[in-house]
Structure 1
Amino acid sequence: MSKKTLHPSVQQFKEFVKKHPQIVLEVRRGNSKWQDLFEEWYLLGEEDSRWDEFKERNTTASQPDEEGKKEWMQQVMGAMKNMDTNQLQHHVSSLSQALGAIQGLILQFQGNPQSKSSGGNRTSQPQHPFQFRKD
């Protein structure tokens, strides 16, 4: 029993779904269930008008994709035209400073690896993780 073979009607349904990938999206969106679709396909057949919506979407699927890409590019280009480079530089600088502060905190919490391997000298005071300094 190395591999379980599927019933021929299930194999045919899988081929039908491969031809019409919009059916998969219908199930993923939660609009239909596989069992219901299989039963309809089995009872009605592939040529029923039930499947027309998936056939139509299949033939025009490439056009909305290309239009969506063009629309997205137009949005990106519009955003770049309206972008204030000084404000962008300020945000990048703030982000860099925040990352530097986080990195410094992580290094302080990690501690000095030499003091931990010295044999547990507990008489000395532990370093405080936050060092406050006056400006």
Structure 2
Amino acid sequence: MAVSCVRADPRLVEFNDIKIGHVYKKTVTLFQFTAASPAMVVVPGLLIPEKQEEVRDCLLIHVEDTETIKIPLLEFPKVCSLLVDSVLDFGCIAANNQVISKHHPITNKGTAPGAFQVQYSRDPLVTVSPCVESLQLAPPSG
């Protein structure tokens, strides 16, 4: 009796930056290793997102009632990823009735526009501007 082994390619299926209502397909190929077995192609996975959310699921492929192959399916929507220094250090300031400002950049490195809001309620003499702002995508570096 010949021993057979089945392998799926790819072993993980990811759909990145999905949009609601768009159709996404990915083909999974099964390879059966025996004396002279050709590869089999499984019907392409079909994804039509209905919500803008991260989804983790799996595709189960049953092989001749002897083996089940589990292929993780991951769905990732477009997201905003804001980058800012973890500590905003203004240093030691002696104002002497002068307006002092310091620039702290906030960059969107994600795949979707986003917004931020700054809340500060300690010293009424210190103001933060802008407090609410929308950010588009950062230009590609290169």
Using structure 2 for the length normalisation, give the TM-score.
0.19
TM-score with structure 1 setting the length: 0.20
Decide which structure has greater strand share.
2
In terms of fraction of residues, the more helix-rich structure is 1
Work out which of the two has the higher radius of gyration on C-alpha atoms and give 1 or 2: 1
